[in-house]
Amino acid sequence: MKKNYLTLLLIALAMLQNINLPAQDSSANPFLKIKPLAFRFQALPLSAITPGGWLKTELKRNLDGFTGRLDTLAPDLIQQDDIYGKDRLSKKVKNKNLGAVSDAGEWQAQFLWWNSETQSNWLDGFIRTAILLKDKTQLEKAERLINRLLQTQDKDGYIGIYDPELRYRFDNENGELWSKATLYRALLGWYDYKKDPALLTAIEKAVKNVMDNYPVNQSHPFYSVNPDAGGLTHGLAFTDVLEQLYVLTKKQAYLDYCLFLYKDFSTQTLNEDAQFKKLQQADLPLKGHGVHTYEHLRSVIAAWYASGNPALKPAIDQFIRKINRATTPSGAPVGDEFAGGRAGDATSTGYEFCSLHELMAGWISLLEKTGDPDYSDRAEKILFNAAAGATHPDQSAICYLKTDNTYILNGGKHGDTTDKHQTRYRYSPVHREAAVCCVPNAGRIGPWYIQHMWMKDQDGLVATLLGPSELNTTLNGKKVQITTVTGYPFDMDFRFRIYTTEGNRFSIKIRKPGWAIAVYTSTPFKEENGFLVFKKRWKQQDELIIRFEAAIQKNQTNGDEYYFQYGPLVLCHPLNSTEVITKTYTIAGLTDFNCLPLKETVVELNGALPVQDATVKNHFHAEIKPAGTDQPEVILLVPMAGTTLRQVTFKMKGQ
Ligand SMILES: [Zn+2]
């Protein structure tokens, strides 16, 4: 009997363990909510920060160019398809369209939601740019567009692209969540500016309609019979909307829904890199459509913070390692269009402009949540090098795809003409032949960077991303204005002019970039976690002067080549080219054009580090020794920003 009692006791203990363990063990259930994590920094509303200097000039150029005019450059996609209104997709439209393209394969169904992405991502960049520039005419236009979209809201709250007979009833590719993610992000941007409670109510009602029809933990919004479902899986970016609504309302249900979406996305059979079980596999490289993969980083981070589940942290670490492997010297992640398991390479792996915005926003999300300034360096690297290097210096036009080393731009990669329809490797303000996705995102990347240049923490203000700007906010109930005068990243001097009520005590933390080898300041500071901390009672008018010092850095690529970085700027040897117009538009002289090399040469450097020019800022000289001669020649190196054809990575003699 005694033995039996003991056995029973052991069985009872084991049962208790069995009952307790799965509920407690987060590794058994990575989607278990434990305790949501607090953000280290708080982002500020869009209207708190206005751009100055070159950032303002760049936004103005976009507003006068493709960002301000895309609706007239592609009127059939943007103005004439009222996809959220009278042209919502119904079974009839679907049958008709599928009938017309039935031989082209199932992927054609994506085109049914495509215009919603084009319209809404364009609108998002357009209204944010108009807000940041305080452009009265464009703000009036933005208001008209927003009001028209709000009028499409059904009584039950639905704002979307499907008729009642189709909505929420999918077992395959669809744009239900994606068409909403893109539009509601734009609406939230407008709310940041207008602060109209009726607008927030409309957005919340629209999101409630989603949560009612895809009930949390009782539905499968990511179920698809076809594992390749691009619009469906883009829809995971709905977490962007949910996170922003949580910031505005503090309603926990929005964060819980983020976790649910990531859980359902991870559980379904889908060809997507960001699924939890794939992230756990260290030797599984990124293979999917690049844009999806990089935008999904934010959703995994959202799920981690919404749950506080420690099992998600190693998955994110693994995700970052995989992205690191896929990244080129300019900070761009491979994706032309698919990642295809490749390591980032300056010559062979192209990257899509959309991916630049999406990954930069991912790094900024990690920065806001963890406070780790390494993510600032990553975000800056993408904007100042990859993005600025895919943007034409004078014309309002971008490359849809580009490589770091670019020797020709005439449609195909490095002049490849085997695919006659490949037009992505050239400049255009539309890229109509490929897809109107990258140009809208080229209008979003600048505003997103600008909005996150300053954040708050419990002590005061944090300059997280650097550049010329004016911040207007309140601290301790008192107004604070900080004007940042700088040419950064093209120079390293900063003058912060601070205006507040006399005696307002708070800290100003300025991020010390990872590349800075020295820092000089007008006021004593303490260095904490990669930030220079200035804590004092500020005078009514105060000032901080800071100078960072950089040294030229020599970095090895994934292969046997090297590239050079000065501060945040990746350097390249610019190649002379001639521009050949391939298409003209009737608007403002905008054109599509190729860049053809005048002389195609790939050079090899001597072993020495490049030397800074004595008079011209950010110009460097490097020595090469052309084959067949002992006479060294000197070539120019400049920042990648604004270059068209260029060589970024170099073989070096003797190394
Ligand atoms: Zn794109």
Segment 557-593, tens digit of pLDDT: 988 999 999 999 999 999 999 999 999 998 878 999 9
- Ligand 1 centroid from CA 351, angstroms: 9
CA distance 57 to 133: 10
3-state secondary structure of 513: coil
**Among the listed residues 37, 38, 20, 40, the one whose alpha carbon sits nearest the alpha carbon of residue 29:** 20
DSSP letter (8 states) at residue 531: E
Q: Return the DSSP state at 214.
A: S
* Inter-residue contact 424 to 373 (CB < 8 Å): no
249: CA distance to ligand 1 center in Å?
Answer: 32
> What is the structure's pLDDT at 566?
98
User: Rounded to the nearest whole angstrom, what is the distance from the C-alpha of residue 54 to the centroid of ligand 1?
Assistant: 25
Q: Is the peptide bond before 45 cis (omega within 30 degrees of 0)?
A: no
Backbone phi and psi for residue 634, each to the nearest 5 degrees, phi listed first: -110, 130
Whether 483 contacts 398, CB under 8 Å: no
Distance 357 CA to ligand 1 centre (A): 10
Q: What distance in angstroms lies between residue 572's CA and the mean position of ligand 1's atoms?
A: 24
**Ligand 1 centroid distance, CA of 387 (Å):** 12
- C-alpha 2 to ligand 1 mean position (Å): 73
Task: Say if residues 567 and 372 touch (Cβ distance below 8 Å).
Answer: no
pLDDT of residue 25: 61
3-state secondary structure of 554: strand
Instruction: Tell how far the Cα of 302 is from the centroid of ligand 1, in angstroms.
Output: 23
**Residue 165: its pLDDT value, please?**
87
State in Å: Cα 525 to ligand 1 middle: 43
Positive or negative, the CA dihedral 474, 475, 479, 482 is negative
Residue 342 alpha carbon to ligand 1 centre in Å: 19
Of 495, 500, 501, nearest in space to 483 by CA: 495
Q: Residue 510 corresponds to which tokens in the numbers above?
A: 């300025």
Residue with tokens 């009127």: 75
pLDDT at 94: 53
Residue 547 CA to chain centroid, in angstroms?
A: 28
What is the per-residue pLDDT for 26?
Answer: 63
∠ CA 585-586-591, rounded to 5° = 25
From ligand 1's centre to the CA of 291, what distance in Å? Answer: 8
Distance from the alpha carbon of residue 421 to the mean position of ligand 1, in angstroms: 16
- Its pTM stands at 0.94
Tell me, in angstroms, the distance from the centre of ligand 1 to residue 316's CA: 24
Q: How far is the CA of 435 from the centre of ligand 1 (A)?
A: 7
Task: Please report how the helices 53-64 and 66-73 are oriented relative to each other, as an axis angle in degrees rounded to 10.
Answer: 10
Q: Say how many Å lie between the CA of residue 403 and the centre of ligand 1.
A: 14
437 CA distance to ligand 1 middle (Å):
4
User: What is the CA(355)–ligand 1 centre distance, in A?
Assistant: 7
Encoding tokens for residue 519?
């820092």
Ligand 1 centre and the CA of 633: distance in Å? 39
CA of 452 to the centre of ligand 1 (A): 23
Sequence-separated (6 or more) residues with CB below 8 Å from residue 562? 554, 555, 556, 605, 649, 650, 651, 652, 655
268 phi and psi angles, rounded to 5 deg: -80, 165
Going from the Cα of 356 to the center of ligand 1, the distance in angstroms, rounded, reads 9
Distance from Cα 25 to the centre of ligand 1, integer Å = 40
The span from the CA of 579 to the CA of 577, in Å, is 7
Instruction: Quote the ligand 1 centre to 290 CA distance (angstroms).
Output: 10
Cα 622 to ligand 1 centroid, rounded to whole Å: 35
Q: What would you report as the CA-atom Rg of the chain, rounded to the nearest whole angstrom?
A: 26
Nearest one of 273, 345, 266 to 304, comparing CA atoms: 266
Q: What is the Å distance from ligand 1's center to 420 Cα?
A: 19
Mean pLDDT for back-to-back runs of 10 residues, the chain (655 residues):
44 44 63 97 96 98 97 94 93 49 44 91 98 98 98 98 92 95 98 97 98 98 95 97 98 98 98 97 95 98 98 97 98 93 95 98 98 98 98 97 97 91 95 95 98 98 98 98 98 98 97 98 97 97 98 93 98 97 92 92 89 96 83 93 96 82
CA of 147 to the centre of ligand 1 (A): 27
Write the pLDDT tens digit of every residue in 420-478: 889 999 999 999 999 999 999 999 999 999 999 999 999 999 999 999 999 999 999 99
Centre of ligand 1 from the C-alpha of residue 515, in Å: 30
pLDDT at site 195: 96
Distance CA 200, CA 76 (A): 30
Of 300, 276, 282, 454, residue with least CA distance to 368: 454
Question: How far is Cα 603 from Cα 621, in angstroms, rounded to an integer?
Answer: 13
Cα(424) to centroid of ligand 1, in Å?
A: 9
Residue 281 phi/psi, 5-degree rounding, is -90, 105
How far apart, in Å, are the Cα atoms of 416 and each of 425, 432, 572?
A: 10, 20, 23
Query: What's the 444 CA to ligand 1 centre distance in angstroms?
Result: 12
Q: Ligand 1 centroid vs 327 CA: distance in angstroms?
A: 17
User: Tell me, what's the pLDDT at 28?
Assistant: 76
Predicted local confidence at residue 91, as pLDDT: 77
Per residue in 145-180, pLDDT tens? 999 999 999 999 999 999 998 899 999 999 999 999
**What is residue 463's three-state secondary structure?**
strand
- Owner of token pair 């203990």: 13
**pLDDT of 27:** 65
Q: Ligand 1 centroid vs 439 CA: distance in angstroms? A: 7
Ligand 1 centre and the CA of 556: distance in Å? 29
Distance CA 483, CA 423 (A): 42
Residue 404: how many other CB atoms lie within 10 Å: 28
Closest Cα to residue 306, out of 362, 360, 266, 246?
246
C-alpha 150/C-alpha 330 separation (Å) is 40
Rounded distance between C-alpha atoms, residue 84 and residue 202, angstroms: 15
Pairing of strands 460-463, 504-511: parallel
In the three-class reduction of DSSP (H, G, I as helix; E, B as strand; rest coil), residue 58 is classed as helix
Strand 569-575 versus strand 645-647 pairing type? antiparallel
Residues shown for the chain: 655
Q: Which residue has the tokens 């009930």?
A: 215
